[in-house]
Amino acid sequence: MPAVMQMLRSGVQGLKGGDSQPLRASHALKSLFGKEVDELSTLFLGQSTDEPESYLCFPAAVGFLAVSSVITMSAPFFLGKIIDVIYTDPSADCSSSLTRLCLALGGVFLCGAAANAVRVYLMQTSGQRIVNRLRASLFSSVLRQEVAFFDKTRTGELINRLSADAALLGRSVTENLSDGLRAGAQASVGIGMMFFVSPKLATFVLSVVPPVSIIAVLYGRYLRKLTKVTQDSLAQATQLAEERIGNIRTVRAFGKEMTEIEKYTSKVDHVMQLARKEAFARAGFFGATGLSGNLIVLSVLYKGGLLMGSAHMTVGELSSFLMYAFWVGVSVGGLSSFYSELMKGLGAGSRLWELLEREPELPFNEGAVLNEKNFQGALEFKNVHFAYPARPEVPIFQDFSLSIPSGSVTALVGPSGAGKSTVISLLLRLYDPGSGTISLDGHDIRQLNPVWLRSKIGTVSQEPILFSCSIAENIAYGADDPASVTTKQIEQAAAVANAAAFIQNFPQGFNTVVGEKGVLLS
């Protein structure tokens, strides 16, 4: 059944033409984060002007973030003034003044809450857009690679890049970036207000910040390297699971379930060991930042008490300063966490950048197209030398020549490993020969457009593959534009292949879903 289905695909191949332009990954920038900066800017701004919201969501989110941060950081100043009013004249009736001040502050806080809500919404939508764009660009880049790339790269690893790595990087540059910007804005405003309230006390307190920043930088760099190793290990575990689950019938037939469980457990145990290292580093880092925050508060109480004793500060000013110091301490911790999480995301994204920037060794959709009026289909292999890129030390062909006239029927006969399938792979230009030429109607196929060339060749592979969709969709897959293939054309192709009768015997006929690799068919 799978062989028949793939033959039907070939039967409808070439119904309509089509073309696509390859996406180009952006050029790398040589800066603090290397090429990641340029890639991140591409993800934020988008690929085209067809999505103007791509240019507006993130800047708008930053604007609303600034509004909410300023409002939040204004609260300690006004609360300090209220305390001074109450403290300096406790016997006076100030209920009306307090009511007006509290109502005004309540209105300001309401505006801040609204701005914060809009900021979260815009950041979430921007984040999902970035992840979607990243996954689409990555998938596009992967599909444009030459077949030799897939010979060397495991499927599970690519799936892990598309899923786990892309999601981790997306969170790092959206949710984490939003928190980092908020922490940065609040720290900046808080430090400014601390100097406004008491320059002497601010200078004394902020001496704690530089050591914390140094610790954060060192921790972030370590976490970036560790995350890269962790994601690689996770990709290996994903590859093992994908391969074994995809071939569960073979595993079950040989009774190897427990063996495979042990192998997978070993893989995830290694991931757990790396996670423990990260947890240990994280524990030390957050312990240090928590201690620094408490030291800031303690230093404010100590130095502020001395200044109050010498009449250089009021109780309201000390209260305001203490709240600002608390916010600055929290914000510095947030900035440190932001930097470490950003490094973690970029560590996971390093493999993604490699895939995005990789240029295929064989052209994807470039080259000449022959005039179909003069197209005959004569094939010739001349003095071809070839070895698979994954096994260059094992030659498959040495000075191989073969001529197939137009309109003829030719069978290649030989033992397993003689190179019969390799001839077809070279004809489809899945690989290029090391030397020699392969020509179509006298034209070297290396000069032809590979997409056009393959559209003129009907293929039934040695191990036919069915996709998890309907029989009709599998038959139409070989067409240049499957969506334009009519039901009548599909039925005609099935009839030519002598498959229409048994397909129509299914309860849903051509709409029968075949399952993954056709497992639902007998």
pLDDT tens digit sequence for 495-519: 888 888 888 888 888 888 887 777 7
The closest alpha carbon to 411, from 424, 396, 429, 430, belongs to 424
Please state, in angstroms and rounded to a whole number, the distance separating the CA atoms of residues 267 and 275: 13
Q: At what angle do helices 35-45 and 315-357 cross, to 10 degrees?
A: 100
| Residue spans of alpha helices (H) in 358-437 | 420-427
**pLDDT for position 221:** 76
Structure tokens at 82: 């209220």
Q: What is the mean pLDDT of residues 6-19?
A: 47
Cβ-Cβ contacts under 8 Å for 114 (sequence gap 6 or more): none
Strand, helix or coil for residue 508:
coil
| Stated pTM of the model | 0.66
Least confident of 24-28, 95-99, 251-255, 327-331: 24-28
pLDDT bucket at 59, cuts 50 / 70 / 90: confident
What domains can you pick out in the chain, each with its CATH number? 2-18+468-518 (no CATH), 35-356 (1.20.1560.10), 377-440 (3.40.50.300)
> Measured in whole angstroms, how far is the alpha carbon of residue 225 from the centre of its chain?
18
| pLDDT single digits (tens) 281-333 | 878 877 777 777 777 777 777 777 777 777 677 777 777 788 888 777 778 77
Please state, in angstroms and rounded to a whole number, the distance separating the CA atoms of residues 246 and 240: 10
**pLDDT for position 45:** 47
| pLDDT single digits (tens) 369-422 | 888 787 888 999 999 999 998 888 889 999 999 999 988 999 999 888 888 889
Least confident of 83-87, 237-241, 362-366: 83-87
Look at residue 28 and tell me whether its pLDDT is greater than 50. Answer: no
| Residue spans of alpha helices (H) in 27-154 | 35-45, 53-88, 95-143, 147-152
Contact predicate 193/73, CB 8 Å: yes
Q: What percent of the chain has pLDDT over 70?
A: 85
Cβ-Cβ contacts under 8 Å for 5 (sequence gap 6 or more): 464, 466, 471, 474, 475, 499, 514, 518
Look at residue 216 and tell me whether its pLDDT is greater than 80. Answer: no
| pLDDT single digits (tens) 170-201 | 777 777 777 888 888 888 888 888 888 888 88
**pLDDT for position 9:** 54
**pLDDT for position 218:** 78
